[in-house]
Amino acid sequence: MAKRNNLILSIFLITISIFLLLGINKTIKDHHDRQYTVVYNKIKEAAKACYQKAECEGEITLKDLYDKGYLDEAIDPITKEPIDSSLCLTKEEKNITFCKEKGE
């Protein structure tokens, strides 16, 4: 009887541990996604300001925004390294979007 209770307890603890790990993993992923959203929204806002002042047109890069003073260096929130300055943005109607990479 004691062996059976130990087995049930072990299975229960393993199951709880799996659910906890899955929950923690999802929470961390959601947090990282929100961090990237904040950085990319900041970049889009800087590009929008540049387009509104007619200092930018067509496709622009992060380097253009840096050079014109609309944005300080954008840092990847996870790796803590600068985001590639060749990242491209464009204005489509009223929206600022990132340019499509080849093959997308």
Per-residue pLDDT of the chain (104 residues; tens, 9 = 90+): 788 889 999 999 999 999 999 999 999 999 999 999 999 999 999 999 999 998 988 899 999 999 999 998 899 999 999 999 899 999 888 889 898 765 44
**Angle at the Cα of 101 (from 100 to 104), degrees rounded to 5?**
80
Q: What was the pLDDT predicted at 81?
A: 94
Residue 13 located in a structural domain: yes
Residue 23 located in a structural domain: yes
Q: What was the pLDDT predicted at 101?
A: 65
Residue 104 located in a structural domain: no
Residue 15 located in a structural domain: yes
Q: What was the pLDDT predicted at 103?
A: 45
Residue 59 located in a structural domain: yes
From residue 62, give the alpha-carbon distance in Å to each of 9, 34, 50, 84. 56, 20, 11, 8
Q: What was the pLDDT predicted at 104?
A: 47
**Is 93:100 a contact under the CB 8 Å cutoff?**
no
Residue 103 located in a structural domain: no
Q: What was the pLDDT predicted at 10?
A: 94
Domain count, the chain: 1
Q: How far apart are CA 91 and CA 58, in angstroms?
A: 7
Residue 37 located in a structural domain: yes
Residue 18 located in a structural domain: yes
Instruction: Print the domain residue range for 35.
Output: 2-98
Is the overall model pTM greater than 0.85, yes or no?
no
